[in-house]
Structure 1
Amino acid sequence: MVALVLLNPRAAGGRARRLADPVRQWLAAHAPAAVFALADDIGRARALLQGRPEGSRVVLVGGDGTVHRLLPELLARSLVLGLVPVGSGNDLAGALGLRGLAWDDALARALHGSASCCDLGELSSAGGALPFASSLAAGFDAAIARRASEGPQWLRGLPRYLWATLGELAALRRRRLRVFVDGALAHDGEALFASCLNTPSYGAGMPAVPGARIDDGRLDLLVAGRFGRAGALLMLPQLLAGRHLGHPEVRTARFAQLRVECDVDLPLAADGEPLAATREFSVRVLPGVLRVVRAA
């Protein structure tokens, strides 16, 4: 079946638009049968995917946010996902072994590589059910994601998230959380955040749960407990180096189902995209529901 190559010109703060002509030219030379589309509007992008033959291949030129917004359509049509990572986050691309590939190498792989099954997560809250590919942040890290989404366009990737982290430290707030992992109470007390990861990293490459896998039928919970401003600031270099998991206020757990309750509104962000705050939500793993092309 003919593949659709869909470029999100808003990815990476609008810098992805510069790839439109080079991608067209590459496709004309190497994959003339492929259909190319530029989708400024998410509604048009969704309509394009809804019109694709079931089981066909879609190559998204964008980042985690691009994938996140189109996950419902990818799942509804059982589409095969190829990814050319040019976004600000690219944590799903990292888990797929695509981080650091030149865009033309990633495009060739996305069009011609074999696909394998990938897990997803699903958030359920008052707003309904929503799938996510990389992470569901709840608390301080979700507030960081919101600040990063509103940050200066000249910052991208990990520096953008670090800028947002330093900004959020000034308004640091812990919340009392009750976290249930597969039906059992796992945490009851103050915490900075209680976030769920499918990929080893989030926040544009921070190795939050280095052992997480996207094909093991489980998600990984990461809880940061009673940290103040100084403690959070000192923990940041440990997180960037992946050495934070030994801290007594940091805990992880693998799970199939999870529930979080909070007495006040809790900020949320899925795949780096800010969502409406809520006081309770649940998450479950969706094993192997997405077919995706990996680097090897």
Structure 2
Amino acid sequence: MTSEITLFVNPAAGRGRGAHAARPAASALRTAGYTVHTVIGANAEDALARARAAVADGTGALIAVGGDGLTHLALQAVAGTRTPLGLIAAGTGNDFARALGLPVRDPAAAARLAADALKGARIRDVDLGRVGDRWFGTVLASGFDSRVNDRGNRMRWPTGRARYDLAMLAELAAFRPFPYRITLDGGAVREVEAALVAVGNGTSYGGGMRICPGADLADGLFDITVVGDCRRTTLLRVFPRVYRGTHVDHPKVTVLRAAKVEIAAEGVSGYADGERLGALPLTARCVPGAVRVIGA
């Protein structure tokens, strides 16, 4: 493997933590003997083009410095190739790094782990989800949670997480379950009333919310969590349990498993790795061994 590797940096991740994390990460990698090239795009499209160019030019690894948004972008560059992906988790959520058991918000430690793993060839293949031509690593969210995202993205004030807290309160006030149509592995259509449907390649979203706690990155299947028809008060009781993953024991929650899932509901968007994919219906496929990851 070449000793030249690429740092793919989002300087704005985690309110500026990405820029700060890049320096100790680059230093640790250079100390380990690697030649480090840094890629920072003018925007997401430019950044992805630069990352893809680095992969095409034969970089020894693409190491993303940022949060789940940048990881999502990096996946578009490396999925389906033999270029390993490393993560220096410096964002707000960092859910793909959590799923891989990597250090979070400790850039020097994460970089040292990546360098040691590359030298020791500790690289393994893990699954990814795919919707159309978009890859995702963690969870495809739809329903109540995606409506909160939609509302929060439209708001100009307040800023940061407070925006989404306010959006959640507004969505709760107007909450009604959605009529879903769910099809697993091309089988019969299931028609259900549900607060949300989450398709998990990884276990968590939103910075450790274990919405699909049993998901396995290497089993070739999604875990699909369906929070069924429930009142607002029930949703308020169930949702906090997501951080521990114990919500799946609630009678209103069902967990399904499939390699392919089609979800449809009127007026509902889908988000994967926190990034908007578009309005439902969407079809997601689990692609076994779609990406090589470092140090997991």
* Category of TM-score, reference length = shorter chain: 0.7 to 0.9
Of 131, 146, 151 in structure 2, the residue corresponding to residue 123 of structure 1 is: 131
Range that drifts further, 4-13 or 52-61? 52-61
Which runs of structure 1 show a deviation greater than 6 angstroms over 4 or more consecutive aligned residues?
none
Structure 1 counterpart of 2:291: 290
Counterpart of 1:14 in structure 2: which amino acid? G
Structure 2 counterpart of 1:265: 267
Map Cα deviations across residues 158-205 of structure 1 (whole Å, 9 max, x no partner).
Answer: x88666534431232321111111223363121111120111111210
- Displacement of 1:20 in angstroms is 4.1
Between the aligned residues of both structures, percent identity stands at: 32
- What runs of 5+ residues in structure 1 fail to find an aligned partner? none
Structure 1 counterpart of 2:282: 281
2:24 and 2:108 in contact (8 A); partners too: no
Structure 2 counterpart of 1:78: 82
Structure 2 counterpart of 1:16: 18
| 1:59 to 2:59 alignment | no
- Displacement of 1:152 in angstroms is 4.8
Alignment of 1:249-264 (within 5 A): 249-262=252-265, 264=266
| 1:68 to 2:72 alignment | yes
Give me the whole-angstrom Cα distance separating, in 2, the residues matched to 1:269 and 1:44: 22
- Distance change (3 Å), C-alpha of 1:89 and 1:161: farther
2:95 and 2:207 in contact (8 A); partners too: yes
Counterpart of 1:206 in structure 2: which amino acid? M
The DSSP-based 3-state class of the residue aligned with 1:73 is helix
2:131 and 2:285 in contact (8 A); partners too: yes
The DSSP-based 3-state class of the residue aligned with 1:34 is strand
The DSSP-based 3-state class of the residue aligned with 1:3 is strand
Structure 2 counterpart of 1:237: 240
1:122 and 1:286 in contact (8 A); partners too: yes
- What runs of 5+ residues in structure 2 fail to find an aligned partner? none
- Distance change (3 Å), C-alpha of 1:161 and 1:185: farther
Structure 2 counterpart of 1:6: 8
- Distance change (3 Å), C-alpha of 1:209 and 1:24: closer
Which TM-score applies when normalising by structure 1?
Answer: 0.87
Task: State the aligned residue count.
Answer: 286
Alignment of 1:1-296 (within 5 A): 1=2, 2-31=4-33, 33-52=35-54, 53-54=57-58, 56-75=60-79, 77-100=81-104, 102-113=106-117, 114-124=122-132, 129-147=133-151, 152-155=158-161, 164-185=167-188, 187-262=190-265, 264-278=266-280, 280-295=281-296
Give me the whole-angstrom Cα distance separating, in 1, the residues matched to 2:289 and 2:282: 22
- State the superposition RMSD in angstroms: 2.4
Give me the whole-angstrom Cα distance separating, in 2, the residues matched to 1:40 and 1:249: 45
2:8 and 2:51 in contact (8 A); partners too: no
